[in-house]
Amino acid sequence: MADATNVTVTLNVAVFDPPAMWDRALGIYAGVNFRYKIFDPGEPTLLAEELHDGFVAICGNRDEPDIGECVLLIFAGENPPGIQIDDSSAKIVTPAWDEKHLDRGEHGANGGDRD
């Protein structure tokens, strides 16, 4: 790829419905992996079970999904035509202690001592 252009992309994503995000990631995973599976009419549910189990091993279950893995599958899953994704990562960012507690009147930046 001598003529390739390197690009860095940063996405800040707010996940407000984890089960819906999980459903979307499962659809992408199934679409990518389904073509490599062989349907066996003698065991018609085996294919779905294999895809589901493989996905759950990566992204967790629908009630408590691994948000980082699901987001990576959604945004950096399979290489689109003409693009090779060399690396991807996801980091869950939680608000600082003060930001989480200021609105509730608990100890924070202006509210007294912290342990």
Q: Express each pLDDT in 44-97 by its tens digit.
A: 666 678 888 989 999 999 999 999 889 888 887 667 777 777 777 777 777 666
Model pLDDT for residues 53-64, shown as the tens digit of each residue: 989 999 999 999
Pick the residue with more confidence: 1 or 28?
28
| Amino acid found at 80 | P
- Please name the amino acid found at residue 55: F
The number of residues in the chain equals 115
Residue 51 has a CB neighbour count (10 Å cut-off) of 17
Q: Specify the pLDDT at position 62.
A: 93
Q: Which residues pair with 52 in a beta bridge?
A: none
Q: What is the pLDDT of residues 16-39, one digit of tens each?
A: 899 999 999 988 888 877 766 666
- CB hemisphere CA count around 31 (13 angstroms): 10
pLDDT for position 112 = 46
> Could you tell me how many helices (H) and strands (E) the chain has, helices first?
4, 0
